[in-house]
Homo-oligomer: A and B are copies of this chain.
């Protein structure tokens, strides 16, 4: 399975778009979306030709208080079914499971009893063996699976290669490049994409990318990866996601040349629903504190705090962060 590359006028049928609006956007509003919003998002994604829609996390109710989060942090089967019924569409449904924060035995049903198609396991590089165990468990239950290695910008090439080799030898279907800190430049994404797709080719795995917009690179990095054979592309409506957010669905769909993708349903959803969230006071998207955490290659938590406090002393913030984290 050679990774395919395309030009601007061609398109690659192997490319799949995954909408992560609820899952990554849920980190902005603690997963308190209305059912109406989720239903409209589902309909918009189906119309737009999106291939997978991620509904949220499968978080353990032992570890997280169900009264402190909206239901999409837990993604009970009945919650998803209340939106999609039996999902009588071509779009597949995905959830994310964090290593160490998921109660697999209790929360992952047999595939035959579930409307979920794909379980994506999120892990740091040092918990890859646990992630593989989780993914194999889900695979055995009948799901497509992926392993998403987060914060990849802080991992060494040696560790990445070893991780990819381990995952390559497992039953996992997809491996994701995740630039959690939004600190990577296209040149680095190019190199990572080549490392990942080499393993993908060797073991028959699809490679994906999940980019963050701290340096306004989420879209650029996503299409750079695409040009290097990466084929699972994450995006969110208006780029909604933690901190600086993600690759915007409207940018990605505007770029992709496959006529199955339609921009209009995305634009309508953005104008009708995403602007409302912004008006209600939810804050995400590029801002200078994120640029700074991106440049320093550190977690965006300090930038989120900086923006929450409405601090604009960027020079001071940079120095503080340097002292604290570098």
Contacts and interface: CB of A to CB of B under 8 A. Distances in A.
A40 to B, nearest CB: 14
A186 B264 contact: no
Given A254-B291, A270-B288, A288-B270, A220 B314 contact: no
Interface residues of A, number: 39
Given A251-B215, A288-B250, A267 B315 contact: yes
Given A8-B185, A312-B275, A267 B318 contact: yes
A286 B227 CA distance: 24
Interface string A15-31: 00000000000000000
A220 to B, nearest CB: 3
B187 A227 contact: yes
The count of identical subunits is: 2
B271 A314 contact: yes
A295 B254 contact: yes
- By CB atoms of chain B within 10 A, which of A186, A248, A288, A295 has the most? A288
Contact of A270 (B186, B275, B314): B314
**Interface centre among A8, A187, A227, A312, by most B CB within 10 Å?**
A187
A224 interface: yes
Residue of A217, A263, A315 with most partner-chain B CB within 10 A = A315
Contact of A220 (B8, B216, B275, B295): B216
A267 B250 contact: no
